[in-house]
Structure 1
């Protein structure tokens, strides 16, 4: 069996990586089974996907200028602990697709209940 790496993806819905005709779907931070609330989740949460090392290295070589990779939203390590430690280091790294933290919403906004006329 080929050697693998664990690829982390901070993007909420993941992404599909392609090398030639081979495709790998990375799990995103909102992958089912992750602890989350409807409005907010910790920014260090990442989706984790095992990927063949050969595939990962080929993808990185072909897509080294891909913005989500360059900015650190997609990264890999040999061990789960290493990739989670890196995710913790990148906790403040924001991509703009984070869920809304309801505690930080402007006080001037009024909540509308379901079925309430606007």
Structure 2
């Protein structure tokens, strides 16, 4: 479920898909505050305070995820996010690798988000679990007869 500090009823939303297993927290900061902190003569030791935050559901929140199998390929959590927040967050984080690599993306309609997730279903994220029967460099221990 998305939680924003300034979500208005009836606001335009987008469906954000997060292919990271545990999801992601998107923080939006005041750009003027960040510039002031960066230009300060004395270092500011306290972390910046976000003006709004959204928690994205991860791939483990996909209805098709089964914990016993731990199969994440092709799965992604869906979260409704205020469009203005998403646009501002993307503008503030253009070089963020999960965004650039398509691990986090948004579509105007939920059906379009599901279709795009289906398109990238075979693309590995690098965060999928290893197959325990095919671990690289590991061979089963053979027991001696008798």
For the aligned pair, the TM-score class normalised by the smaller chain equals: 0.7 to 0.9
Structure 1's unaligned 5+ residue stretches are 111-118
Structure 2's unaligned 5+ residue stretches are 1-9, 30-50, 142-146
**2:41 aligned partner:** none
* Aligned pair partner of 1:11 in 20, 23, 32: 20
TM-score normalized by the length of structure 1 = 0.81
For residues 11-33 of structure 1, the C-alpha deviation after alignment (integer angstroms, 9 at most, x for no partner) is: 00001001121000000001275
Report the RMSD for the aligned CA atoms in angstroms. Answer: 2.0
Q: Judging by fraction of residues, say which structure has more strand.
A: 1
* Aligned pair partner of 1:82 in 79, 93, 112: 112
TM-score normalized by the length of structure 2 = 0.67
Cα displacement (A) at 1:103:
5.1
- Once residues 25 and 71 of structure 1 are traced to their aligned partners in structure 2, the CA distance between those partners, rounded to angstroms, is 19
Cα displacement (A) at 1:77:
0.5
Paired residues of 1:9 and 1:28 also in contact (CA < 8 A) = yes
Total equivalences in the alignment: 110
Structure whose CA Rg is larger: 2
- Once residues 121 and 98 of structure 2 are traced to their aligned partners in structure 1, the CA distance between those partners, rounded to angstroms, is 15
